[in-house]
């Protein structure tokens, strides 16, 4: 019961969802119990991959065993489930781990559990590896679900607050500024005042309403319907964000734009905003503080294995390690997950950052 308790005891995730919507690592008690009580291993790493990598933090045992989890390399390209239960790996390239256990879900590989030799130098049994795989899959799936829920609640709170502020401002402008001008114009007409004064009142009211409309969120659905998704993305980025880069290059695969017509309006609009956020993030954070000021951006649109893939790559300074950075992309990766897509980031410090957005296309 003592060994089983970390896996069945409440993790109080409901409380964390309501009062502490802050991203965090997997439950340490569960991962430590897996490594100590079941496997009795000397070293272990639980590394998410694929769509879950955007929502789950890698784990290491013992804590602080390595400054960063080892790169998966070819392990991230495992064949479909049903192949080898465990794969031998080189401990020199995997921080002392000697075995890799692929972790699966219906949509494919979700992570890899790396384990080193047992403390007693014995062998792992098949039952132990089976339980370790099931536990690793459960840990990643649960943590990804919690993080996704936290992000959605945070996004909903932000939208509710923004909507409330916008609604209050709209009411204030209409009641305190526009209506008095219209009322003054009506009184001027009734009293027979010159047309110039009436026109002045109406012009001021028109200016107030026009400014209010400009502050409302822009609707991109009509633009997508008129131009097509790829053309709408290209126009928005070229006009709004193109001047931020020294060079902006587009690579659109032939026929990719036509394939997007089958996407739902919600999926198309989600991909539009996520792509624009990836470019905005590059314009804001990619330029190095010192050195070359030449910042280039390459955007590629192609169809890969039934998915529309948009790649946004810059030659900037890489991802920022500062806390709180990349929150916009984190929220958009959540929205992409809701419509069945993914948003992943690859970065080489001081050289480049690549954002990969993928969305399944209807057959």
Place of tokens 């256990």: 101
- CATH label, 221-360, candidates 3.40.50.300, 2.60.40.60, 3.30.565.10, 1.20.1730.10: 3.30.565.10
pLDDT higher than threshold 90 for residue 243:
no
Q: How far, in Å, CA of 333 to CA of 45, rounded? A: 24
On whether the 5-152 domain is CATH 1.10.760, my answer is no
CA 7 to chain centre: 29
Output the pLDDT for position 216.
62
Q: Is residue 91 a contact partner of residue 97, using CB atoms and an 8 Å limit?
A: yes
Q: Which is more confidently placed, 240 or 286?
A: 240
Phi, psi for 155 (deg, rounded to 5): -65, -40
- Which of 58-62, 255-259, 326-330 is least confident? 326-330
Mean pLDDT value of segment 82-104: 85
Lowest mean pLDDT among 40-44, 75-79, 331-335: 75-79
pLDDT tens-place string over residues 200-227:
888 888 888 877 766 665 566 777 888 8
| CB 257 within 8 Å of CB 303 | no
Q: Name the pLDDT band for 345 (thresholds 50, 70, 90).
A: confident
Average pLDDT over residues 231-257: 88
Torsion angle (degrees, nearest 10) of CA 226, 230, 233, 236: -60
pLDDT-based confidence at residue 11 (cuts at 50, 70, 90): low
Q: Which span out of 65-74, 141-150, 161-170 was modeled with the highest average pLDDT?
A: 141-150
Asked if 44 contacts 61 with a C-beta cutoff of 8 angstroms, the reply is yes
The percent of residues in the chain predicted with pLDDT above 70, rounded, is 83
Predicted pLDDT at 41: 93
Three-state DSSP at 108 gives strand
Phi, psi angle pair for 205, to nearest 5°: -65, -40
Residue 118, token pair as written in the block:
């047992």
Rounded Cα distance between 316 and 118, Å, is 43
Report pLDDT for 23: 46
Taken as a whole, the chain contains a residue count of: 363
The pLDDT confidence band at residue 104, using thresholds 50, 70 and 90, is confident
Look at the alpha carbons of 226, 243, 329, 44 in this order and tell me if their dihedral is positive or negative. Answer: positive
- Is residue 149 packed enough to be buried (19+ CB in 10 Å), middle (13-18) or exposed (0-12)? middle
Task: Say whether pLDDT at 186 is over 60.
Answer: yes
What are the distances in angstroms from CA 89 to CA 45, 57, 114, 258, 273?
13, 22, 9, 44, 41
Judge if pTM exceeds 0.85.
no
Distance CA 229, CA 109 (A): 30
Q: Is the pLDDT of residue 44 over 50?
A: yes
Residue 196 reports pLDDT greater than 60? yes
Q: 5-152 with 221-360: one CATH topology?
A: no
- Predicted confidence at residue 311, as pLDDT, reads 93
**What tens digit of pLDDT does each residue of 122-151 get?**
999 999 999 999 999 988 988 888 888 878
**CA distances, 298 to each of 24, 314, 333, 353 (Å):** 33, 6, 20, 11
| pLDDT, greater one: 347 or 324 | 347
The structural domains of the chain, with segments of one domain joined by +, span 5-152, 154-215, 221-360
Cα-only R_g, the chain: 27
pLDDT digits (tens, 9 = 90+) for 288-341: 655 556 888 999 999 988 889 999 998 887 766 554 555 678 788 888 888 888
Share of the chain above pLDDT 90, in %: 16
Backbone φ, ψ for residue 239 (5° rounding): -80, -45
Helices (H), 249-326: 256-259, 265-285
Cα separation, 252 vs 273, whole angstroms: 18
CA–CA gap between residue 117 and residue 96 (Å, rounded): 8
Asked whether residue 165 carries a pLDDT value surpassing 80, the answer given is no
Residues with Cβ within 8 Å of residue 285, at least 6 apart in sequence: 316, 317, 319, 320, 325
């Amino acid at each position: 019961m003592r060994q089983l308790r970390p896996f069945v005891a409440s993790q109080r995730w409901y409380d964390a969802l309501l009062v502490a919507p802050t991203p965090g690592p997997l439950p340490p008690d569960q991962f430590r119990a897996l490594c100590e009580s079941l496997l009795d291993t000397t070293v272990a790493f639980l590394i998410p991959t694929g769509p879950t990598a955007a929502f789950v933090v890698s784990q290491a045992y013992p804590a602080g065993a390595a400054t960063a989890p080892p790169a998966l390399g070819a392990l991230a390209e495992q064949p479909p489930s049903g192949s080898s239960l465990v794969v031998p790996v080189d401990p020199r390239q995997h921080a002392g781990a000697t075995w890799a256990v692929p972790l699966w879900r219906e949509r494919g590989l979700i992570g890899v559990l790396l384990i080193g030799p047992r403390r007693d130098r014995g062998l792992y049994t098949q039952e132990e590896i089976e339980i370790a795989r099931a536990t690793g899959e459960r840990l990643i799936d649960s943590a990804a679900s919690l993080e996704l829920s936290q992000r959605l609640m945070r996004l909903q709170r932000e939208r509710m607050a923004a909507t409330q502020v916008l609604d209050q401002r709209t009411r204030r402008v209409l009641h305190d500024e526009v209506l008095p001008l219209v009322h003054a114009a009506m009184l001027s007409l009734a009293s027979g005042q010159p047309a110039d004064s009436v026109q002045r009142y109406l012009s001021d009211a028109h200016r107030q309403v026009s400014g209010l409309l400009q502050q409302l969120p822009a609707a991109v659905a009509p633009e997508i319907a008129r131009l097509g998704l790829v053309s709408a993305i290209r126009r928005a980025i070229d006009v709004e964000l193109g001047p931020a880069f020294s060079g902006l290059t587009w690579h659109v695969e032939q026929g990719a734009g036509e394939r997007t017509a089958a996407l739902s309006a919600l999926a198309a609009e989600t991909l539009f905003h996520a792509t624009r956020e990836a470019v905005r993030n590059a314009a804001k954070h990619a330029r190095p503080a010192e050195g070359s000021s030449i910042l280039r951006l390459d955007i590629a649109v192609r169809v890969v294995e039934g998915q529309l893939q948009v790649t946004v790559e810059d030659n900037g300074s890489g991802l920022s390690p500062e806390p709180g950075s990349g929150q916009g992309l984190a929220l958009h990766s959540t929205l992409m997950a809701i419509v069945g897509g993914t948003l992943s980031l690859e970065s080489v410090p001081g050289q480049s950052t690549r954002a990969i957005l993928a969305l399944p296309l209807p057959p």
